[in-house]
A and B are shown apart, each in its own frame.
Chain A
């Protein structure tokens, strides 16, 4: 019984300490009067920072160099989501394996799906590869609501920024003009950068490439490149020898010299494929902000990828 009493005392002390800490945390938060925004990925986090400026505290859960399909719903994330006034999800079932238990465990009514503090960033953007016929798991890990890697298109970044501007204005109406001005500034910079990227990529329109996973349809479509094969035989299924042989033959037949890989996949198979195709190269592009050290924001993401891609294509095509 003494043991139980002692445990009970300790628990009580902990609870009191917790309440004090919570009160203190609340005071600090009020003093700063910033909206806590939590995003699934660093891309959404970067756009939220662009629009929210110093009126928001942004926390991104998945790192840019990790596979966003396989994030662990760690308890430390529960703490971050618990304090959020706004949660911004990628949607299209990208986070289906980890976000639902996080939201349920967060004890935060404000950011539950359907609540004002929950924003699905995919609601009004251009989504590609929406299945039209019947789909089964025999096709691999297909996304029934379309390809969720839609942020890799600057136009979609602009639409995401608009949605965030509207949502932040709804949650903090007093700062509506501030968010509008921040959005306009982002829009201007993005538009100027797009002209630059278009000019850089113009000579390579129509070039055929291979990618590891189906992460790049928006990016490649935006810059006029054609994806004609994947290192994965089916989405989420690791490379198989027979598929690899077929892919090598296809690359030789169609003179495809570039394999684009995300940083979280092993380079072993892509490199082996490239070694069998004369003149072929493997290029690791950043699929997200933070995918490589140099990519610190959304505009930088395209700056990095476009320059790297154009450099590689220049070597390959001689243009």
Chain B
């Protein structure tokens, strides 16, 4: 507006023409001042637009290739898109300045979208199993994940599972990585930190199924998975990595814990020790405990029996991965032992079970594995199942996997099952890295 007014003034002055020598000189001076003023304003506007354009380009992720190695070129222009921490969000200990934007920045509308991935788990079975048969072919699970940083203080991870029985939130939790006191706090629905296998999603298991002991004592595929709060702390010491985790859950883990009153919570504790034996070899040990009410005393939705299940577990993992040839060779050996003490009508059942497994990567795309299982049943420890499996896995790429498993199980009731199981796993999108 101001520029337009100035132009009109100059134009009018030019039209009026010379009035007299004194006034002419005054007019020339005024004109010069006006022109000077105009020049300054024009430069200011030019600068302003330049800055706004640069900011917009940075926001949209426009990434030019800067000239090579200009000295002291740092801070020239950010190439990775960033956003500023919202005003008022920077509290004590919180991040300040710019936050990186995750995912591709090809369009401004996608900037705040979470990383999204879908993992398909297709299973097939052949052979004979009269006790626990699975379908010949099934799209066992489709897992959709949504993961993003929520704000400077938390990140969120959602895993939705779609299967034959419908859809459910497999996990959906917030993680606070910057809580004072060196704590790592998680809130939401999650798989409990009980042992190793309970924490793992289907697609990162080294088998097509879960060990028998998991099915018999820890509620099978779902495991201890519930709404709750988890607090983990590193226990400082000069020798090993030691982490203690305490968790409180609503008390509902289907097939294991049941909560008929608000106060019937379940509890999980886990202690993990880890040590690098060499650059290539490490050992990972854990001890776990879980306690909660079970459903055996519930009559008409009232827990008459007030029966409780206690679980103890120990796990051990040995990894060998020669750093220079890690993409070709590695080995992971793992064992978990579990004890269950289950109160139920008719008395207490003490059941024990374990598995031992090994998975060897013998070429860039190939793995061979084996597992031995033995477990009593939680509700009737006199019934003991045992089994063994051998596996062969092929990775066409990092994003797909084909696996075959021969499994033989001798069930406590007497029958023996001989099965050939196979699996196709495939992943699309950006799936976040899993914890070690």
A98 CA to B326 CA in the complex, in Å? Answer: 14
Binary contact readout A39-70 vs B (1 if CB under 8 angstroms, 0 otherwise): 00000000000000000000000010111001
Which of B78-86, B257-265, B298-306, B410-418 binds A? B78-86
CB distance from A54 to the nearest CB of B (A): 23
Whether B323 lies near A66 (C-beta < 8 A) is yes
Whether B182 lies near A82 (C-beta < 8 A) is yes
A123 CA to B82 CA in the complex, in Å? Answer: 10
A103 CA to B241 CA in the complex, in Å? Answer: 16
Known: A70-B327, A109-B177. A115 touches B95 (CB 8 A): yes
A22 CA to B276 CA in the complex, in Å? Answer: 20
A74 CA to B241 CA in the complex, in Å? Answer: 10
Decide yes or no whether A172 CB sits under 8 A from chain B.
Answer: no
Whether B236 lies near A22 (C-beta < 8 A) is yes
Decide yes or no whether B364 CB sits under 8 A from chain A.
Answer: yes
8 Å CB contact of A163 from B74, B233, B434: B74
Binary contact readout B72-94 vs A (1 if CB under 8 angstroms, 0 otherwise): 11111111100001000000011
Interface size on B, residues (CB 8 A): 73
Known: A18-B242, A137-B428. A114 touches B97 (CB 8 A): yes
Known: A101-B433, A162-B73. A124 touches B242 (CB 8 A): no
Decide yes or no whether B65 CB sits under 8 A from chain A.
Answer: yes
Contacts of A101 in B (CB 8 A): 432-436
Decide yes or no whether A122 CB sits under 8 A from chain B.
Answer: yes
A96 CA to B79 CA in the complex, in Å? Answer: 18
Whether A130 lies near B65 (C-beta < 8 A) is yes
Decide yes or no whether B237 CB sits under 8 A from chain A.
Answer: yes
Report A85-114 residues with CB < 8 Å from chain B CB.
91-92, 96-101, 103-109, 112-114
Interface size on A, residues (CB 8 A): 74
Decide yes or no whether A19 CB sits under 8 A from chain B.
Answer: yes
Decide yes or no whether B29 CB sits under 8 A from chain A.
Answer: no
**Residues of B bordering A, CB below 8 Å:** 63, 65-69, 71-80, 85, 93-100, 104, 149, 152, 155, 175, 177-179, 182-184, 233-238, 241-244, 271-272, 274-276, 279, 282, 284, 319, 321, 323-328, 364-365, 397-399, 428, 432-436
A-B contact pairs, 15 of them (CB 8 A): A22-B236, A74-B282, A82-B182, A96-B433, A103-B177, A114-B100, A115-B152, A123-B80, A126-B68, A128-B65, A145-B80, A146-B63, A163-B74, A264-B326, A266-B325
**Residues of A bordering B, CB below 8 Å:** 11, 14-15, 17-19, 21-22, 25, 63, 65-67, 70, 72-76, 78-79, 82, 91-92, 96-101, 103-109, 112-116, 120, 122-124, 126-128, 130, 137, 140-141, 144-146, 153-156, 158-159, 162-163, 166, 187, 222, 236-238, 263-266
